[in-house]
Chains A and B, each alone.
Chain A
Amino acid sequence: MIEVRKVSKTFGAFTALEDVSFRVEAGEVYGLLGENGAGKTTMMRMMATILKPTEGEIEVAGYSVRIEPDEVRRRIGILFGGDVGLYSRLTARENIAYFGSMYGMEKQAIGERIERLSQMFEMGAFLDRRVGPFSRGMKQKVAIARTLVHDPDVILLDEPTTGLDVTAANIFRRVIGRLQEEGKTILFSSHNMGEIDKLCKRIALIHKGRLQFAGALEQLRAQYGKEDLDELFMTVVEGSGR
């Protein structure tokens, strides 16, 4: 479960997020929707305890990001958008194993977990090759496997399908489905409305740092009387006055 209560974040004079509240239930795949620069990554970073909220409170798996950041970190796996954050001179296996060791996992457990993730993401052919020359899609698979190596309860995915080809994106969606079946709580940020529509039933829509909507997608459609999500998004954003 993730609970965001009246959260604001400022960097000097710049307000990145203002008075944002929403709640992600345990075992739910929740969408965080917004254009580039809307504040999605800042929100993810606060949930991952990398940034501190200027105001308000965030609880992840029942722990406050302010008061118990280590407990939060133990329970989350985060995949940041943009650059995939891998060590290019290490192999895919070494990258994943390194992060496993950062979560205090034993060597044998790491090995077993890597085998499972390798099967899940079809990485067997390149698991023992150095990451540097990989394609964007291959790197993204390794980064996702790294995020999941310690089997976290809460998974934060910031624009995870950026750069993935159609096949890889489909594999990724299947994995999300499987993780949901395992009861994982997933917060999925994207600016791609179609993707959110395929994966999430409930969303939070942020525009220029302010929450425009939080709730079920069906409720949003009913509220604005529009089926097409892109159209719906534009209507909400234009109506925000920002």
Chain B
Amino acid sequence: MRNTIIWAVFQKEMRDLFRDHKTWLGTFLIPLVLVPFVFFLMGSSYSSQEQEARAHVPIAVYGSSDLLKQLEAIPGVSFHQPSDPNQALQAGQLRAIVRIPDRFDERLEAGGTAQLHVEYDSTNQKSVYARDVIEERVMAYSKQIAAERLQAAGLSETAIEPIEAVYEQVASEEKRSGGMLAGIIPLMLVVSLASGGIAVANDLIAGERERGTLEALMSAPIPANQLLTAKLLTVMIMSCTSATASLVSLTLILHFGPIASQGFALSLFTPVTLLVLILTLLLLAAFFAGLELMLSMKAKSVKEGQTYMSAVIFLAMIPSYMLMPIHPVDIPQHYYMIPVFNGVSLAKEVFYGKIDPMHGVIGLGTSLLYVVLIIAWTARLFRREGVVVKP
């Protein structure tokens, strides 16, 4: 009887949700289709901008010097003499203005330093690109003059570069891509887990109360905890579906999107790290589901519930953003005991490919404790008459 009731309520909730196109659109289709589409759009727009910046580099040069030959060699460069070069630069007609002072070559020939002024617009990526290619040419020209001067003085280039530092990174390819993913994925997963259940949780209590179905249901001889269990499972399923959709969408972006060439790999999972990740996500889903149902019970209306639910998104985003730039070895120990922080910290370790067993025990243990507490609190609230009938 116990499981039959839970199953009957769960089945009905899923059938009801499955027929609600808005729910599926928000939970599944938007993350799965729209997010990759936006990434592809951004990527193709970025790459067309980059192509345009390389193909066409209009600049204005004032003054004369042998340096001009170097600048002429820049692919796509063209020289212009507009009446108001500053205005042309602001308007994007020019990418940069190079001002060569008088006696520039003379100063260099005398063995001194000559200043060169390059004006560019840092808010325009094409102008920034022009600055970069000019800098590259100027540095090459400068290096060439320096080498000639050293040769004339009977010195080799090593005279001014006594130390040559060689840097080697020790992280494997998996670890490097894991490091990148460890920043993005926990944020995306945790926010999806939190947001995926919001609409459903709000509908399952505040919505049912508004429609009068909760009252009818609560007058049936079913224990409140079974009803709550079924509703909790429904919210968890929707949260996990949303997180899965986000993960699939990210996988599509990593494999086929504009950053696919950077070779991100998800081959860093071992059976243990995968198990820890699944447990962490399930516990986070249960925590958010309990919290969202509790807020739905507290709300006097669906509208009020929506306002309360926005706090849940913040609760998910704050730890995710705070931990994003931190390497797992630098995560403070107490973060593994704070709700949501513990889940995000463990997820980061998983994506770095190495889990500290102590962190695993503390993180999963405290997550479980918070899930038990929030569900117990929610269940207690559910038995109060104010949940069904708002005065």
Contacts and interface: CB of A to CB of B under 8 A. Distances in A.
Q: Do A and B come from the same complex?
A: yes
Interface of A: 11-12, 14, 45, 48-52, 70, 73-74, 76, 78, 80, 82-90, 94, 98-99, 101-104, 130, 146
Interface stretch (B208-216, B288-296, B341-349): B208-216
Given A85-B211, A85-B213, A104-B1, A78 B12 contact: no
B117 interface: no
A74 B221 CA distance: 6
Contact of A52 (B4, B213, B220, B385): B385
Contact of A51 (B8, B223, B389): B389
Contact of B213 (A45, A86, A94, A103): A86
A106 to B, nearest CB: 10
A19 B223 CA distance: 30
Contacts of B385: 50-52
B210 to A, nearest CB: 8
Nearest to A83: B212
Interface string B5-17: 1001100100110
Given A51-B389, A85-B213, A90-B15, A102 B218 contact: no
Contact of A89 (B20, B215, B388): B20
A101 B216 contact: no
Contacts of A103: 220-221
B212 A101 contact: no
Given A80-B215, A87-B211, A89-B20, 15 more contacts: A80-B216, A82-B212, A85-B211, A85-B213, A85-B215, A88-B211, A90-B12, A98-B8, A99-B220, A102-B9, A102-B217, A103-B220, A103-B221, A104-B4, A104-B221
Contacts of A12: 391
A45 B389 contact: yes
A87 B220 contact: no
Chain A contact residues: helix, strand, loop or mixed: loop
Given A50-B385, A85-B211, A70 B15 contact: no
A94 B15 contact: yes
Interface in B341-391: 385, 388-389, 391
Nearest to B227: A102
A80 B212 contact: yes
A49 B221 CA distance: 10
B222 interface: yes
A89 B18 CA distance: 9
B391 A89 contact: no
B201 to A, nearest CB: 17
A21 B391 CA distance: 23
Interface in B16-38: 16, 19-20
A60 to B, nearest CB: 11
Interface residues on B, range: 20 to 34
A79 to B, nearest CB: 8
Interface in B206-254: 210-213, 215-223
B219 A49 contact: yes
Contacts of B218: 50
A14 B218 CA distance: 24
27 contacts: A11-B391, A48-B219, A50-B215, A51-B389, A70-B223, A73-B219, A73-B220, A74-B221, A78-B216, A80-B215, A82-B212, A83-B211, A85-B216, A87-B16, A87-B211, A89-B15, A89-B19, A90-B12, A94-B12, A98-B8, A99-B216, A101-B5, A102-B5, A102-B9, A102-B220, A104-B4, A104-B5
Contacts of B1: 104
Contacts of A87: 12, 16, 211, 213
Nearest to B8: A101
A89 B16 contact: yes
A94 B217 CA distance: 14
B222 A102 contact: yes
Contacts of A11: 391
A149 to B, nearest CB: 10
Contacts of A104: 1, 4-5, 221
B388 A50 contact: yes
Contact of B212 (A49, A70, A84, A89): A84
A139 B258 CA distance: 53
A99 B220 CA distance: 8
A48 B218 CA distance: 9
Nearest to A16: B391
A12 B391 CA distance: 9
The 4 tightest CB contacts between A and B, nearest first, are A85-B212, A83-B212, A73-B221, A102-B220
Nearest to B386: A11
